[in-house]
Structures are given as structure tokens and as C-alpha cells.
Structure 1
């Protein structure tokens, strides 16, 4: 094995947080073309941890290819969205005795070698892997970028720490926050990213971020037209408003 290969296999051993049992979760909807490759990349970078794919009502071979690649698979009977899939994953992790969960996209956008950077952050209950924080060349342009900057500014003030990428789905959740999300993780669009940060903050959790590099999406095309950007911003405002008006939750059992 090459030196580079050894480094990749040891990447997730940069854990200085004492997380104990970590579960790496891939929520997936119709990702048969990428899920197997992503699982193999996770296995290469993080040999010591379990991998769970939550098949969110796929109608293709996502579940079969995930199992063939060596992951455990939870099959949901119908599509719940990322929020619903992750709530199911958090409940599974809590009930199975895991102390931490890392969420990784099944489409290949998140580089599993970056998990080590999330694990190296001490003292936080929730760690976001952030684009636009000084590493990498990931670019979002036009009205959508303006909306994301506004959102970052608002949520940074609410949470009390600088957040440059609050919609990132690449994140690490530790014990207290895992117990909280197992009971109170929002299922609405953008709730799994935006509202969950407010929920964590209002429940007394420490939220942090770490710069990571991300890849450009491998499938699909991001829309940049003003109408979609305006709708995105409107949905963001609704998600934040819901998080602020709802009763502040308390952490569940660990």
C-alpha cells in the first residue's frame, strides 16, 4: 500500500473529542449511481466506524448497491425528505448506543477525508463542515449566493457564533445534540439545516463550524434564476421564523 493510501485509511483517527462510537449516515434518494462509490470512499477514509444508508423511499437500486458496498441499510417505506430520514437515523443511533453521528451526502459532494476535521473540533455539540470559510474553491453565484449570505448573517446573530454555511448538510452531532435531534429534528424543507441550528442553540447546545473542501455536484444542475432564488430566500425566512416561534425543546435522554 502506498503512503498516500495509509494516510487516507487513517484520516478519521484524528478524533480528539473522545466521541466513542461514531455512526456515519448517508441519507439517500435514488442515488444508485453514486452511493456505492461514496460508501467505499467512507470505508477507505474511516475504517473504524459503522456506515448506515437511510434509503428515503428510492425507486431505483440505491438500497441494493448500498448493501453490496458494505453499509447497513434502513429502508423507509416512502419519501420523508432529508429531515425525516435523518430523524430516523438519529433515533437509530441513540437506540443502538452510538454517541455521535456524521451526516454525509450520498451524491459524492462531501469528501469523506474531511470527516477528520469535524472530529478534531473539541467542545461543540454540533459541528458544521462549512464551505465559504477559507478552504476550497466551491462557488455559488448570483441571487442564491446573496440569499445565503443574508441567512449566514442572521443565523450567526441568533446562534452567537460565526456561521458561513448554515445550509451545509455535512455535519457532526455529539451526544446531547444527538439525543435532542432524535426527538425534535425538523422534517420540513430547510428545517434539517436552518431550523435545526436554532433548535440546538435554544436547547443550550454549542454550535461550531470548521472549514472543509467540497466537490461540485456530480449530478443535476443548480438553478440560478431570480425566481427560484427568491423562493429559496422566502423558504429560509419561514424556516427561521418557525424555529424562533416554536417552544424551545429540551434534550432527550442520551
Structure 2
């Protein structure tokens, strides 16, 4: 089976080389692609210097557009499994193979890496954990399924999800909304425990000033998805 690691990257010059080197050295059964979301720092220069496989977007599309570009790449190049990994070094590549084995063995459409099953590693800030608990409750309300880490960007998709996300993907803050999208379509989603690290560089796209907008926007998107 052809397997792809999608690495959305916006201004990840401090961590992108180590992230890709880790994949190259440990994940021999996987290809990868860096989606450079019109970075303004040295991210694209580092990728070119090291001959990394990179797709550079001409304008900044945000996390949703960058990830969707990765899924379009996966669909058009015949990949049957695609996994998202942040370019900031938070996601430990050691868990990719476990996710793939769990997805294939259980014939799932998606596997989500969760910090909150064994509660190991970096657990995010207290304020963000409150928001995560809220989205866990909202997703359970809308779908009947408990997702302990609905904001996790560490997730693996099978072919059906690749095709869906290549066609339709939220533009910003997509993780909770996409979980509802595939659950509402009757697809099979499970979580496995993973250990995450703090960012190895750069800054989060969700600042304190954006948190209220984030909560309102994602709540409305989930409710609209529920009504479709």
C-alpha cells in the first residue's frame, strides 16, 4: 500500500529539517510531502537546500488549505493511506507505524493520535484543555462518538477519507469539524494513545485573542455539519 506523510508548514524554519530527517531515517515504508504554505521565513530555502519533497503554495491558505493540498496530492498520486504530521516537531514519528497497523487491522477510515488516553507527554495548556473537553462533549452530542482529543492534528486517513478531504476540507481550525464530517457519513474512526512534545519552534496559529473566534466558529461549523 502506498503511504504518505503530509507535513503542513508555515514558518517552521526552526524545526522542519529535524522533522523531515526523522521521517527519512525511521519511516522507510512512507513517502512524505512538505506543504509550504507561503512561509515568510527560511522554511522553503531549507527544504530546497536539502532536496526535500515540497509543494509551495503561491499564497497563504491557512492550515485547512495546506492540509487539503496534501490530501489532493495523496489522491492524485494513488496513495491509500495518508497521515498528517505537524512541521513544528510536536508529533513523534515513532507512532506512525502503530497508527497504520491499527487502521489496517481494524479496517478503519481514520485513526486519531490522542494525548488524553494515557495522559503522557505534553498535555497542552489548562485553558486549551477546557476547550478540548468542550469539543469532546459537542462531538458526542452530535454523533454519539467520544473523541478524547478532537483538536489533534496527528491523524491517519484511509482512501475514502483521502478522497473526501481532497474534495472538501474546512479552511481554518479544521480538526473537530472534520471529525464530525466523517462520523456523520458513517465512517469508522478510532483513537490510539500517542505522546506529543511541546513545539520545537515557531508560534501557534491560535493566539489568546483568536480563542473566542475559534470556539464560536468551530461550534457553528459542527452544528451546520450536523444539520446536513
Normalized against structure 1, the TM-score is what? 0.81
State whether residues 124 and 207 of structure 1, in contact with CA within 8 Å, keep that contact through their aligned partners in structure 2. Answer: yes
Secondary structure (helix, strand or coil) at the match of 1:26 reads strand
Match of residue 56, structure 2, among 46, 70, 75: 75
State whether residues 12 and 202 of structure 2, in contact with CA within 8 Å, keep that contact through their aligned partners in structure 1. Answer: no
Corresponding position of 2:87: 106
Distance 1:198 1:104 in 2: 20
State whether residues 35 and 106 of structure 1, in contact with CA within 8 Å, keep that contact through their aligned partners in structure 2. Answer: yes
TM superposition shift of 1:126: 1.0
Corresponding position of 1:134: 118
Structure 2 stretches of 5 or more lacking a match?
A: none
Corresponding position of 2:29: 48
Match of residue 58, structure 1, among 21, 34, 39: 39
TM superposition shift of 1:65: 1.5
Root mean square deviation, CA, Å: 2.1
1:93-129 Cα deviation digits (max 9, x unpaired) = 1111111111100010101111122112122101111
TM superposition shift of 1:229: 4.6
Residues 33 and 210 (structure 1), Cα distance of their counterparts in 2 relative to 1, 3 Å cut: same
Please tell me whether residue 22 in structure 1 is matched to residue 6 in structure 2: no
- 1:1-254 superposed matches below 5 A: 20-121=1-102, 122-187=106-171, 189-190=172-173, 192-219=174-201, 229-245=211-227, 247=228
Structure 1 stretches of 5 or more lacking a match?
A: 1-19, 248-254
Residues 228 and 186 (structure 1), Cα distance of their counterparts in 2 relative to 1, 3 Å cut: closer
Normalized against structure 2, the TM-score is what? 0.89
1:223-253 Cα deviation digits (max 9, x unpaired) = 896x7654443233123123224x4xxxxxx
Residues 220 and 27 (structure 1), Cα distance of their counterparts in 2 relative to 1, 3 Å cut: closer
TM superposition shift of 1:135: 4.4
TM superposition shift of 1:142: 3.4
Distance 1:72 1:224 in 2: 30
Distance 1:182 1:224 in 2: 28
Aligned residues: 224
TM superposition shift of 1:58: 0.9
State whether residues 147 and 229 of structure 1, in contact with CA within 8 Å, keep that contact through their aligned partners in structure 2. Answer: no
State whether residues 14 and 201 of structure 2, in contact with CA within 8 Å, keep that contact through their aligned partners in structure 1. Answer: no
Distance 2:51 2:101 in 1: 26
